[in-house]
Amino acid sequence: MTSTPRPLHRRLIALLTAAGMVVAGATTAANASSDDGHGHAHNDPATKNAISRSGEAAANPDPTTPAQRSASRARVAKQRAQREPQLTGVPLRSKRRAVPESVYAMAGGCYRLGGQPVTFQATGLGSYLLYAADRTFLAATGPDTAGWATAPSPDADWTAHRTGKGRFTFTLADGRSLRRTGSGFATGDAESFALRRTDGCTAFPEVQTNVSGRPFGGVTSFQEVRGWVDPHVHGQTHEFLGGRVICSPPFHRYGAAAALVDCPDHQVADGRGALLEDALAGHTPGTGHDPVGWPTFSYWPNPHSLTHQQVYYKWLERSWRAGLRIHTSLLTENHILCTVYPLKKNSCDDRDAVRLQAKDMRAMQDYIDAQYGGPGRGWYRIVTDPFEARRVINQGKLAVVMGMETSVPLGCNVQLGRPTCTEEQMLAELAEMKRLGVSQMELTNKFDNAFTGVAGDSGSIGPLTNSANFLSTGSFLRMRTCPSTNPAGMEDKLQSPNLGDLGSPPQGTPEQDAIFGAIWKLFGDAGVQPAPVYPAGAHCNQLGLSPLGQTLLSAMIDQRILFDPDHMSVAGRNAALDYLEQQQAAGRSPGVVSSHSWSTPDAYPRIYRLGGFVAPYAGDSTGFVEKWRQHLGWTDRRFYFGFGFGSDMNGFGAQGDPRGADASNPVTYPFTGLHDVTIKRQRSGERVFDINTDGVAHYGLYADWVEDAEHVAGVDGAALGADLARGAEAYLQTWERAWGIAPDSCRNPGLRLSARAFTRAADPGLRARALMRRVGQPWQRLGREFTYCATRPGRKRVLMTVELSRAGTVVGVRRG
């Protein structure tokens, strides 16, 4: 295969870049640059690790004063010094009995079947591969015969049915059932087998977590939580862009060997068919790579290999075991890219993609349940409200939030300035998303739509994104010089060509001809014409928040869906925050989460003032530490503070690079995670990963990345660790307020009741959630005690402690 991309591939690579799917240092015949479609180059630490993923905004002055920043840091330090909630170790799974009590209980266990030890490897809820000590699989070999196969298949995928205590039958999907013969096994009429635990089995080959120690939970289901938060992950993007771009699913019925394989087009000519991977990874197209995943993983995963699965469920499990407790999996699609990409099996409609990915998330939950003994027993729990999330975290499990990030959410595009949906259609679509489980949502990703303008992209990628916007909406971005009243950095992405590019006075348009000659080759058959020449200077998209967008925000408040302002134009985001501030003043309860540094810095203090939660793009550990230090100066005194990181993994976001084995303060293995779990180097098949030399190659290494960030922070490492561990609680408190729970009365003196009125409100028998509806969020929730502030004659602040039963109902109230 030639190393030069064919015209279709050149067009594809440019469109991929244009749609904001990150290009990390690519050099192609399409003139793709190292700009990632987010307005910065991932291989440039100055922009990859900036406070904002906008190169222009990253350089702007801090919007707060030194006094404000100092007071903010002092408040956070004071919060860290408060009493910590009591945590407890939680068993990974229920104790395995000598005789399995249900069709789910055999998962991962060793039982004697027909006189020999067999590992029961769950393929789903109640279905199994029967894996022998010699690494073969019991399988049907004919209409009425059975034997031992070298690989799993539907003929080896048995569904169990309980017939009595410890007795089960095993049946294939086509109805053939397992039975005994004098010499072994056959198929035919179902025969009941007695199962009993034994030893002598061989473990099923799978990715390891390499974390020892019990997961931590709370001593009650309603107390304050601890754990890390990642509110920006793409867990099911193996389905998006038609389902042929991300090479592997996050799980497979037959395990890692079946899941972690390369794309068919990557396997052509020793990986030289992977032109898209080459472009995204910064290689010359046609360079190729070793396409073998499991078990060698010689090339992938790595921080810049963006077409390969990085959130395999066992890698996610490692981060959960180490301390991750909230994980937002974003449903996503880009209809323009999907339409152009030549390989596809799925619909390109954003709504179809979102539905499919939501279904896959439920299937993944079921699969993990199957590994841990049955429905509800797995650690991956999709949650739809903050109260459920708190219970899940205090059970020691991972609260999985379903989010959405598309350029045409709810089917509401804009064509030649007119929305393609009505208000009634939009509200119906939003209600459907809520029923699916969506709890966090962005209004746009890469293009203008019926709700808002987009920030756009700068550099050499800007014209391509702009052309893609034309394909999506029928219009180019309406960029103009920003208002003179805007402070420095409150701007969208600088578009080219502009009069600043062309000189003053303009010297003709040879640059425009060169740029758009290439674009015409890429987009010509789609009918895209050259974009306008923009004015010089800072650019602001004139398309802001539309009336329909404001109606959507109002409906999101009603539906209690968290709003993420990332990717919006400055005009759109400012108008959205203005509207939410007005609604908050009027007594409504918006919830705001900025999930991956795609807002300008002027917005972050406003988000904190709304009681919102911010998680910067993770990037390199070195850059992340500096972001954390800057955010410490922006907090609001009225709200609990904790911090998160937005990985953007599986979303074509390049991951943290290694600092190198020769770093002055490398991570030393084993190290200790949250609640004293022990974390060793991660092993996947034959490959062992080390954060010092491999960086964040896959999601399991975020445990190691947190440790690395604490090393980078030096004397501030413990403070960074504390703020990240408090992230789960901060996110939940933001989400609780979006559900109408008032902020705590200790940090908000105006909300304090008199001690007598408070005592009357806290009726015995009232459940914790009902109590909070009456008197707001507790200042502290330690074990079975909630602490609030009240007033009494002559005293503006009196501590009130509500004692709750183990079941979470009010037992009594006392002062102090």
Span 273-331, pLDDT tens digits: 887 787 777 778 788 899 999 999 999 999 989 889 999 999 999 999 999 999 999 99
Pairing of strands 398-406, 380-383: parallel
pTM comes to 0.91
Question: CA–CA separation, 571 vs 563, rounded Å?
Answer: 16
> Which of 90, 391, 397, 378 is closest to 220 using CA atoms?
391
Pairing of strands 184-188, 193-194: unpaired
Question: CA–CA separation, 6 vs 75, rounded Å?
Answer: 58
DSSP 60: S
Pairing of strands 593-594, 613-614: parallel
8 Å CB contact between 601 and 618: no
> Which of 25, 29, 46, 28 is closest to 37 using CA atoms?
25
Residue type, 510: P
DSSP 747: T
Work out the number of other CB atoms within 10 angstroms of the CB of residue 574. Answer: 21
> Which of 356, 351, 361, 344 is closest to 241 using CA atoms?
344
End-to-end Cα, the chain, rounded Å:
76
Tell me: the pLDDT tens digits for 756-779? 999 999 999 999 999 999 999 999
Residues 6 or more apart whose CB falls under 8 angstroms from that of 281 comprise 24, 25, 26, 289, 304, 305, 306
* Residue 356, φ and ψ in degrees, nearest 5: -65, -45
Q: Please, where are the H alpha helices in 437-483?
A: 462-473
Place of tokens 């395995």: 96
Strand ranges (E), 422-579: 438-442, 479-481, 539-541, 562-564
pLDDT at residue number 54: 47
Question: CA–CA separation, 24 vs 41, rounded Å?
Answer: 6
pLDDT at residue number 55: 43
Residues written for the chain:
816
Residue type, 39: G
Residue type, 51: I
Residues 6 or more apart whose CB falls under 8 angstroms from that of 736 comprise 386, 387, 772, 777
Question: CA–CA separation, 211 vs 179, rounded Å?
Answer: 40
CA torsion through residues 390, 434, 324, 609, sign: negative
Strand ranges (E), 287-336: 324-333
CA torsion through residues 704, 45, 730, 741, sign: negative
Place of tokens 């002062």: 815
Strand ranges (E), 172-227: 177-181, 184-188, 193-194, 211-212, 216-218
pLDDT at residue number 31: 34
Q: Checking phi first, is residue 332 left (phi over 0); if not, alpha (psi -120 to 50) or beta?
A: beta
Q: Helix (H, G, I), strand (E, B), or coil: what is residue 679?
A: strand
Question: CA–CA separation, 717 vs 725, rounded Å?
Answer: 12
Calculate the alpha carbon distances from 545 to 405, 489, 574, 670 in Å. Answer: 17, 19, 9, 50
pLDDT at residue number 267: 85
8 Å CB contact between 512 and 498: no
8 Å CB contact between 32 and 13: yes
Burial class (CB in 10 A: 0-12, 13-18, 19+), 809: middle
> Which of 337, 460, 447 is closest to 35 using CA atoms?
460
Burial class (CB in 10 A: 0-12, 13-18, 19+), 205: middle
Residue type, 226: R
pLDDT at residue number 499: 65
The two tokens of residue 29 are 């015949």
The two tokens of residue 387 are 């109260």
Q: Which stretches in the chain have pLDDT values below 50? A: 1-46, 54-58, 503-525
Residues 6 or more apart whose CB falls under 8 angstroms from that of 264 comprise none
pLDDT at residue number 468: 84
Q: Helix (H, G, I), strand (E, B), or coil: what is residue 618?
A: coil
